[in-house]
Structures are given as C-alpha cells and as structure tokens.
C-alpha cells in the first residue's frame, strides 16, 4: 500500500511579522526535507499569524502576504508545503456555486460586504505557488470574527495527487461541520484529509477536538492530519497538540502541548481508484529515511495544561511585544505569588523584579511571605513603604471631603498609590507590570480602577480564585517532585485571603466564600445561565441575586482592565461583550 509521509509543522507564528513567519516556515521545512517528508502541513494562517484582525483591511498587508508566499516557493529542495495564508478572492479561488447547493446561506450570512480576501491553504513547492483551497465555514462566535474579514468558499477545493494518493484539504471550522466539506472530499475519492487549524486553548478543548476527529474519520473513511497553531497572541493561547487519526478514528500521533515542533508520520493509504488531476501531481522525494514509530504525546493533566497555557501566554506576550523584564507587586498573598511563579517560568528569574509595597495595615506575616517567596523564586525584591504617600494624599483630600478619607475611599487610595509606584517603575525601566487580579475579583468588581488593575498584562484574569489555589498546589508539588524547594510558602496557602486595606480585613467580608462564588460565576459568566435558571437548579435566590448584580454592575471596570490569558471557554475580553450601560435586570419582570 502506498505510504504518504506527512510532516506537521506545529509552529508559533507572530501576527503581522511575515519575515519572521517565513523564516520559521523555512526552518521547519528544512527539517521536514531531512526527514524525507512528501508534504508539510502548517497551521491555519501560519504565514500571517492568527488572528490578523484589521491588518486584513490594509491593502499593503495583503500584497505583502502574496510576496511572502512567492518567497517561500524559492526553495526547490524543500518539500511541497500547505501554507495557511490569505489571498484576494480574484486569484482563482473556489468561490463559485457549490456542487450540491448545501448550506450556502449559512456560509454567506453576515459576511462583511467589504471583505475581499479568503482564508486559504496554499500549495507551495518547487514549481512555485500552486492551487489554494479556501475556507468555507467562517466562525463568528466566541473569540472568532471571521465574517468581518473573509469571503467564504462555496465549494471544496481540488484534490491533490501525491503519487496516486488522493489528498483533500479542509480548514479548521470546516472539519467540524457534518455533513460538510470533509464528506464532499471523501465522496470525490480522498483517502486522507489535511486540516490546518488555529484552534485556541480552553479547558477541555483537546478532548472535544479528538472526539470530533474520531467521529469525522469514521464517517468519511479518511485518515485526518490535524495541524494546530501553538503560541500566545494577545489574550489567546494556542496549545498545539496536533494530532493524526486513522480512518478508524484511532489516534496514531499527537504532538506536545504548548511546544513548537515538527511531527513526521507515515500513513499507509490506498491509492485512488478515480482519476486525479495531473495538474496537482506531487511526487515523493528521493530520500531514504526510516520513520520511527509515531509518537503519541501523553496529554497533560487539567491543572498542568492550564498552568502551561498561562506560562506560554505570558512569555509570548512579553517576547512578541519586546518586553525584556516583568514587574510584580508582591503582597504576600496567593494571587501575586502565583503570578510571580508564572513569570519566572515564562521569562526566567533574572527578568522578574518584585516590589513589596506595604501600608500601615500590612501584617508582618504578609511582609515576610513576600520576601520568602522572592527568595524561593530567586527573584530580586525591593520595598517601598506607601505610608508617607498615604498620609500626604489623606491630608490633601481632607479639605475636599470635609473629613479624613475613610472606608472604601481610603482603601482604594492605598491601592492607587501602589499602582502609581508600579507604573513609575515601568516608565523608568521599560519593563511591563503584571497585574495580579483573578477572575473572581474581576467578575464581582472586587478591584480598584487605576490601582491593582494598573499594568500591562493581567496574567490570571481568567483564573477563578479556587483554581488559583489548585495551581499553587500544582506548582509546589511539581517543584518537590524535582527535588526543589516549593516556591510558594505554606503560610501563603493557609491564611485567609485578604486585601489588607483595613484592620483584620478578609475577602469573605465583602464577597461570598469563593467555594460558593466561583461555581455560580461559572454558570452566569461562562455558561450564560440566567438568574432564574440558577435558582431553579437549587441555588440560594438571595446569593444568586447578589452575585449577578455584582457582575452586571462591574462591566465598566472590566472594560478598562489590561488583556490577559484566556483559559476558559468564555473570558472577560474578546468573547464576552456585554453592554456597559445595561438597564436589564431579570427580576424587573
């Protein structure tokens, strides 16, 4: 039976940096050539990075993409490569009527009138730039906004001929549709489907992908080569975990998570019993190379996967935006401890600086915990007492308020003084401030605008408080398993969470206990349950009313928060777009 040797180039693209992406593609193609690969599959929009967003509205960017594709073809010794790119719709793309008329309205619905490009996978090889296959189904939900930018194809692209093996190409969302493009290509005679993807990470997503791929393989009788993007892009993280399943739906190869790598797989496939266009004939390279057994990387545990997503998202945000150093305000609490640990794993201890900014209310235990943490992580730490500034601001405000600031005004004042100091250090050093607020706090508005929210990147903004504790225990257990000292002191894990902005303050004086709060936030924010649905499910009506009101009234704060890593299926940011001015409360009816 013929063998198709496929290389999956699980690469980390940089949005907009065509030169960097060309260099990465050529490096991976060179490795694939040494391995004797017949064809290299790259992720969706590998050349432009994903998502390129409004760069696609710039004619110069689209023109430069076409030049970059041509540059990739100037390498006659490298294998044929399926490159994720964009092309103008006028360049011979398959945007005409579909063969069966199925679901055209769905593909066209909402398409932006000014869109003039297609999301394509383009064949690049020794003979230059070959045919392109355009994406048919454009997602427009969650973090996706493809109908703003792309025109959909209305029929499947041509089959490719690799030494008589009929190969179909299906781009990302198209493989999820049943019946859909995969079934069309199977009916035309394809025995394997190459699937470029840019599928962002969210908890549980990989299990869903592999279940879907197994189902689609069994439905179509095709092996499926699913190559996913890896790396951080603003709030999104792409986890890789590219996978190959055989026609029975069994996983035969899986790449690592959160790592750029090249995976080479030999697929025993039947030759096509139908005619395949000679114009798309590609021959196997004359290279003798014995393929090792396909490697099936073990999936990470749920908490380990989340942690690695946070590390990669932080690393790539700093690296791709030119930041060489990160600053973290260390309060001695659990949130700042986790952020510091993530920062060290992302960019190294030498590139992380901690600042202890105690007030008159900061306990000796918390002061000591901040220094203990810094020593365990081997990061520099400096102290700046905020009491002098606190007194000056209080004296300045007293005539305006008619009294010395008290209550929430005084609490927020302390937080804003810290924010001013951290941002001043950022200005002076060029380093980025990593904020330390978690999702539970952001959801309920338990944060201070221009205070603890001041910074350039919010590492754990999509991590609920209960998960913060799980991640800290994971970090410690991993270190101990390596024979190292646990980085996060036990005292940090054991003490009640507190902002320490007034005497004996605890979070549960302002919020419900996190073990009650977080499950309700997951229902309301991530699953879009209504308050009445939550009550009908057995949750306390007064608690539900209190939490939903807190969430709804804090939207204006969240709009002003820095971006942060998305790890759930609905984060505050790209995929949750509630109006700030919102007069709807369910109980008004």
User: Which of 253, 283, 313 is the C-terminal boundary of a domain?
Assistant: 283
- 356: in domain: yes
- pLDDT tens column, 451-469: 999 999 999 999 999 999 9
Whether 545 maps to a domain, the answer reads: no
CA distances from 452 to 159, 330, 407, 411, 412 (A): 55, 11, 17, 11, 9
* CATH number of the domain within which 141 lies: 3.60.110.10
Please give the mean pLDDT across all residues of the chain. 89
Q: Which residue has the tokens 């103008």?
A: 88
**Mean per-residue pLDDT, 276-287:** 55
Question: Does residue 296 sit within a domain?
Answer: no
328 three-state secondary structure: strand
Q: Is residue 146 part of a domain?
A: yes
Last residue of a domain, one of 469, 491, 507: 507
pLDDT at 97: 39
- My answer on whether 271 and 370 are in the same domain is no
Model confidence at 346: pLDDT above 90: yes
CATH number at residue 321: 3.40.50.620
3-state SS track over 98-144: CCCCCCHHHHHCCCCCCCCEEEEEEEEECCEEEEEEECCCCCCCCCC
Query: Does 191 share its domain with 308?
Result: no
What is the bridge-based pairing of β-strands 261-268 and 3-10? antiparallel
Sheet holding 192-197, edge to edge: 251-254, 243-245, 223-228, 192-197, 165-169, 160-162, 281-282
pLDDT digits (tens, 9 = 90+) for 86-131: 998 665 454 443 334 445 444 445 444 445 799 999 999 888 888 8
Claim to verify: residue 224 and residue 311 sit in the same structural domain: no
Q: Give the residue-averaged pLDDT of 75-90.
A: 88
Residues 507-563 have pLDDT tens digits of 888 889 999 999 999 999 999 999 999 999 999 999 999 999 999 999 999 999 999
Q: How would residue 589 be classed by pLDDT, with cut points 50, 70 and 90?
A: very low
Peptide bond into 51 cis (omega under 30): yes
User: Total structural domains in the chain?
Assistant: 2
Predicted TM-score (pTM) of this structure? 0.91
On whether both 59 and 162 belong to a single domain, the answer is yes
Q: Evaluate if residue 273 carries a pLDDT over 70.
A: no
Lowest pLDDT segment from 226-240, 274-288, 324-338: 274-288
The answer as to whether 541 is a domain residue is no
| pLDDT given for residue 143 in this prediction | 86
Give dist(CA 223, CA 251) in Å, integer.
10
Going from the C-alpha of 471 to that of each of 31, 225, 304, 477, 564, the distances in angstroms are 36, 33, 8, 10, 17
Residue 278's pLDDT is 44
Q: CA–CA separation, 143 vs 237, rounded Å?
A: 11
Residues 326 and 185 in one domain: no
pLDDT at 1: 62
Q: Which of 60-64, 351-355, 579-583 has the lowest mean pLDDT?
A: 579-583
Q: Rounded mean pLDDT of 340-354?
A: 97
471 plus 357 within the same structural domain: yes
Between the CA of residue 136 and those of 40, 122, 150, 184, 326, what are the distances in Å?
A: 22, 15, 10, 12, 42
Contact 61, 68 (CB under 8 A): no
pLDDT of the residue at 276: 61
Are the C-beta atoms of 451 and 302 separated by less than 8 Å?
no
Instruction: Please tell me the predicted confidence (pLDDT) of residue 158.
Output: 86
For the segment 19-24, the average pLDDT, to the nearest whole number, is: 95
Q: What is the pLDDT of residue 280?
A: 53
Co-location of 331 and 211 in the same domain:
no
Domain membership of residue 459 (yes or no) is yes
Q: What pLDDT shows up at residue 588?
A: 52
In a shared domain, residues 114 and 196: yes
To 10 degrees, the CA torsion angle through 500, 506, 508, 513?
100
Choosing from 225, 248, 283, the residue where a domain stops is 283
Based on the domain organization, do 405 and 355 belong to the same domain? yes
Question: Strand 223-228 and strand 243-245: pairing?
Answer: antiparallel
Predicted local distance difference test score (pLDDT) of residue 253: 94
217, 274: one domain: yes
**Domain with 375 in it:** 303-507
Confidence (pLDDT) at 543 = 94
| The pLDDT value given to residue 525 | 93
21 occurs within a structural domain: yes
Q: What was the pLDDT predicted at 145?
A: 87
Q: Which residues are catalytic?
A: 44, 135, 172
In a domain, residue 213? The reply is: yes
pLDDT of residue 337: 96
Regarding whether 408 and 265 lie in a shared domain, the answer is: no
Q: How far apart are CA 425 and CA 418, in angstroms?
A: 11
Average pLDDT over residues 364-386: 94
> Which of 434, 437, 445 shows the shortest CA–CA distance to 461?
437
pLDDT at 350: 97
pLDDT at residue 75, rounded to an integer:
83
Strand pairing class (251-254; 243-245):
antiparallel
Pair (23, 104) in one structural domain: yes
What the block records as the tokens of 412 is 């927020």
Sequence-distant (6+) residues with CB within 8 A of 382 are 353, 354, 355, 356
- Which residues are 434's β-sheet partners? 457
- State the Cα–Cα distance between residues 564 and 461, nearest whole angstrom: 6
pLDDT of residue 175 exceeding 60, the answer is: yes
The pLDDT of residue 490 is above 90: yes
CA distance 387 to 394: 10
């Amino acid at each position: 039976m013929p063998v198709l040797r496929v290389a999956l180039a699980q690469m980390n693209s940089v949005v907009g940096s065509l030169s960097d992406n060309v260099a990465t593609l050529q490096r991976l193609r060179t490795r694939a050539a040494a391995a004797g690969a017949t064809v290299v599959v790259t992720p969706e929009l590998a050349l432009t990075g994903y998502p390129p967003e409004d760069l696609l509205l710039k004619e110069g960017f689209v023109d430069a993409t076409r030049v970059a594709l041509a540059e990739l073809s100037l390498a006659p010794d490298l294998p044929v490569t399926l490159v994720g790119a964009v092309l103008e719709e006028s360049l011979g793309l398959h945007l005409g009527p579909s063969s069966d008329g199925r679901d055209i309205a769905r593909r066209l619905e909402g398409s932006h009138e000014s869109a003039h490009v297609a999301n394509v996978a383009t064949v690049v090889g020794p003979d230059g730039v070959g045919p392109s296959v355009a994406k048919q189904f454009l997602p427009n939900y969650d973090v996706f906004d493809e109908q703003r930018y792309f025109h959909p194809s209305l029929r499947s692209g041509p089959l490719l001929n690799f030494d008589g093996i009929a190969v179909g190409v299906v781009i990302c969302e198209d493989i999820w549709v049943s019946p859909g493009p995969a079934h069309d290509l199977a009916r035309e005679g394809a025995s394997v489907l190459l699937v470029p993807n840019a599928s962002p990470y969210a908890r549980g997503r990989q299990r869903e992908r592999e279940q879907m791929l197994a189902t689609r393989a069994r439905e179509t009788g095709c092996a499926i080569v699913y190559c996913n993007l890896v790396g951080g892009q603003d709030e999104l993280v792409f986890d890789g975990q590219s996978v190959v399943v055989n026609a029975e739906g069994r996983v035969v190869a899986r790449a690592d998570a959160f790592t750029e790598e090249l995976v080479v797989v030999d697929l025993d496939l039947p030759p096509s019993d139908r005619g395949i266009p000679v114009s798309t004939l590609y021959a196997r390279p004359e290279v003798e190379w014995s393929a090792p057994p396909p490697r099936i990387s073990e999936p990470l545990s749920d908490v380990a996967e989340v942690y690695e997503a946070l590390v990669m998202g932080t690393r790539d945000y700093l690296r791709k935006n030119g930041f060489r150093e990160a600053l973290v305000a260390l309060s001695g609490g659990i949130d700042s401890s986790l952020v510091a640990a993530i920062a060290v794993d992302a960019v190294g201890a030498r590139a992380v600086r901690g600042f202890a900014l105690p007030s008159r209310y900061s306990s000796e235990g918390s002061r000591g915990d901040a220094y203990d943490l810094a020593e365990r992580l081997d990061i520099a730490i400096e102290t700046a007492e905020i009491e002098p500034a606190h007194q000056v601001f209080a004296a300045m405000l007293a005539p305006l308020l008619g009294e010395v600031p008290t209550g929430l005004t005084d609490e927020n004042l302390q937080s804003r003084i810290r924010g001013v100091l951290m941002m001043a250090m950022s200005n002076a050093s060029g380093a980025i401030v990593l904020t330390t607020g978690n999702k539970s706090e952001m959801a309920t508005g338990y944060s201070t605008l221009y205070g603890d929210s001041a910074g350039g990147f919010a590492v754990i903004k999509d991590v609920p408080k209960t998960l913060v504790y799980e991640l800290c225990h994971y970090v410690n257990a991993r270190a101990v398993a390596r024979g190292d000292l646990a980085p996060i002191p036990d005292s940090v894990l054991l003490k009640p969470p507190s902002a320490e902005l007034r005497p004996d303050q605890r979070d549960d004086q302002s919020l419900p206990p996190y073990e009650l709060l977080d499950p309700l936030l997951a229902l309301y924010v991530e699953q879009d349950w209504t308050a009445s649905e939550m009550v009908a499910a057995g949750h306390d009506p007064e608690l539900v009313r209190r939490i939903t009101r807190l969430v709804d009234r804090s939207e204006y704060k969240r709009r002003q928060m820095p971006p942060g890593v998305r790890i759930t299926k609905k984060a505050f940011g790209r995929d949750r777009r509630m109006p700030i001015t919102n007069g709807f409360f369910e109980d008004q009816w």
